[in-house]
Amino acid sequence: MRKIGFIMLVIINVLTINTLRAQQAPMFTIYSNSYGVINPGYYGLSEGVNAMATYRNQWTGFKDSQTGNVVSPRTFFVSADLPLKVLGGGLGLSVMKDQLGFEDNTSVNLGYSYHFDVGMGTLGLGAAISLNNRKVDFSQANPLSGNDPAIPSGEQSDMLFDFNLGLFYMVPETFYVAASVTNLMEAKGKALGDQSTSSASFVGDRTFYLVAGYEYQFDNPKFMLNPSMMVMSDVASTQFNATARLWYNNKFNFGVNYRYQESIDLIVGITIKGVEIAYAYDINTKGIGVPGSHEVSVCYRFKLDMDKSPRIYRSIRYL
């Protein structure tokens, strides 16, 4: 859960303890469409090209009580991956922009996954290089006491270099289970601001993920139930999601997600000519007047003729 306290300028207090960490990594309600961002082991496992884009506006319209500015978190990412038979695995690329208050982060991940045939499925073992551009505009801060030498002035930014690792095991049309870590090294940047008496610096947010999903086919082949779960933790805090999505005729889907101690989320989607468009609305359960959240995701998947041994897929998610 991304803390509201951060939005209310907790960043100023953090500066006094020598490091400036990012807010907790963003969590997506339609998280099954974000695996290419959080787990490089996923690259190329669908035996086709996956292109995805998601926009999330969390706590829409949430304002800073001091300035009146809208400071709701906004996150946008695009990702793409594809299998490469000659390399025995797949390649992937993702770009994500995350804005929260007066902090603006952009990350680029480029990686490779090596595939092993294990039982009836495939295990992807992946690694990715991660470049994170961290930026904070301190001119928007409104500290209790002005001209505090411990607070950097103006806009401060730095580029952090890190790594992501992941394992992703998938049996098509049956189940998948995966584990990964992003920003493994928790890279530390340079000191912020020459005029500041603080030695604060940006530090990457190491985050662990565990995901799993199952596909249950009803007797009526037009209906399929897809339960899944995700656990995300940066050790200091842990977030749990449980989801169930019902698919009809591989075209329409309806679902609900429960985010522990935070929200109940509704999901609807439609697939047209291989393009899946999904929308999610989060209903906050905190009971403290926090607005709901909106999320839109678009995915396009198409199979490549990689001259592999033939497999038959009923589900559009593996085409």
User: Is pLDDT at 195 greater than 70 in this prediction?
Assistant: no
Residue 318 CA to residue 315 CA, distance in Å, equals 6
Are the beta carbons of 295 and 286 closer than 8 angstroms?
A: no
Question: What is the reported pLDDT for 137?
Answer: 78
Whose tokens are 């961290």? That residue is 134
Measured between alpha carbons, how far is 142 from 215 in angstroms, rounded to an integer?
Answer: 50
The answer, yes or no, to whether residue 29 has pLDDT greater than 50, is yes
According to the model, what pLDDT value does residue 13 have?
38
What local confidence, expressed as pLDDT, does residue 153 receive? 64
> What's residue 94's pLDDT?
97
Q: What is the mean pLDDT of residues 238-259?
A: 96
Q: What is the mean pLDDT of residues 170-174?
A: 93
For the beta sheet containing 201-203, the strands, ordered from the edge strand earlier in sequence to the opposite edge, are: 20-21, 201-203, 188-191
Distance CA 255, CA 243 (A): 7
More confident residue, 312 or 98: 98
- Is domain 4-318 classified as CATH 1.10.150.120? no
Helix ranges, the chain (H): 4-5, 11-14, 35-38
Report the pLDDT value the prediction gives residue 219, as an integer from 0 to 100.
Answer: 94
* Whether the predicted pLDDT of 299 surpasses 90: yes
Q: What is the pLDDT of residue 159?
A: 92
pLDDT score of 3: 43
The pLDDT of residue 21 is: 53
Mean of the per-residue pLDDT values of the chain: 83
Least confident of 173-182, 282-291, 302-311: 302-311
Q: Please give the full DSSP string across 154-211, using - where no structure is assigned.
A: SEEEEEEEEEEEEEEEEETTTEEEEEEEESTT--EEEES-TT-S---EEE---EEEEE
Output the pTM of the full model: 0.84
The residues spanned by each domain of the chain are: 4-318
Q: Considering only residues 244 and 187, tell me which one the structure prediction assigns the higher pLDDT.
A: 244
Task: Please determine, for residue 274, whether its predicted confidence score (pLDDT) is greater than 50.
Answer: yes
Measure the CA–CA gap between 71 and 5, rounded to whole angstroms.
Answer: 12
Q: How confident is the model at residue 312 (pLDDT cuts 50, 70, 90)?
A: very low
Structure tokens at 94: 């993702």
pLDDT score of 1 more than 50: no
| Cα–Cα distance, 81 to 166 (Å, whole number) | 15
Most confident residue range from 87-96, 151-160, 295-304:
87-96
Report, as an integer, the average pLDDT of 60-77. Answer: 75
264 has pLDDT over 50? yes
Q: How far apart are CA 53 and CA 307, in angstroms?
A: 28
Average of per-residue pLDDT across 68-85: 87
For residue 100, report the phi and psi dihedrals to the nearest 5 degrees: -145, 110
101-158 pLDDT, tens per residue? 778 999 999 999 999 999 999 999 999 999 999 988 776 666 655 666 556 666 788 9
Inform me whether the pLDDT recorded for 307 exceeds 60: no
Which band of pLDDT confidence, cut at 50, 70 and 90, is reported for residue 12? very low
pLDDT greater than 80 at residue 311 = no
Out of 12-21, 58-67, 197-206, 254-263, least confident range: 12-21
Q: Is the pLDDT of residue 227 over 90?
A: yes
Give the pLDDT of residue 11: 32
SS3 content of the chain, % helix, strand, coil (to 5): 10, 55, 35
